[in-house]
Amino acid sequence: MAFYEGLDENAGANIPDNISLAPTDTTSGGTFMTRYTNQTGTVNTTTTRKTSKNKRREERKRARGKKGTVYEEEYLTNSIERLIERLNSMQDEIQRLVEGLIRRGMRERADAVSNAAKEVVEGCKKAVGELYPAAALAPSADDSAVAIHGVDGELKPTGGDATLWDSLQEVDKKRQAPIVKEFGKLSLL
């Protein structure tokens, strides 16, 4: 009680309701620090906390996609898909930019922008050809055989291992190849 209100006898009325001052032998793993941190001292929360901490750490590693890790392939594939989405959404803007440059008498710059856009489209098409070979585009019947519990009846791991397992499943999954829109060159160029 001295911790909350000093040594005053009337201080007991202001102690929070979630603090027990009664000594007991039936605590569930609490320590002397529980009194100061306002945390419960149950044994199960430490295991769950470690599991979720490992899972968050693995999720950060997965999102980072560092070179040489098991998450690199998935990260690169997702990056190329995002690039293609952005390229497809920017086609109209590029077209308007080229038209505006021609109207202003900047034919060389318009031609340079148009050629650069064509090179990016060709590079994206080449990347799609490498990432999604024609044999892998055909859907297979085995894709629906993966159970919620895992592959071949194995249980799905938990915590940080679950993140790795999800990543490996994502890499093995047959993906739909993104469509790269063709960049239409102006007839004026």
The Cα 143–Cα 148 span in angstroms is 12
Judge contact between 59 and 163, C-beta under 8 A. Answer: yes
pLDDT tens per residue, range 32-90 = 555 566 665 555 566 677 788 888 888 888 788 788 877 788 888 888 889 999 999 99
Most confident option among 100-104, 147-151, 165-169 = 100-104
Phi, psi of 150 (to 5 degrees): 135, -170
Residue 73: its pLDDT value, please? 80
pLDDT tens per residue, range 125-146 = 998 888 877 634 444 444 433 4
Residue 108: its pLDDT value, please? 94
Please name every residue paired with 150 in a beta bridge, in sequence order, or none if there are none: 147
Q: What is the pTM of this model?
A: 0.52
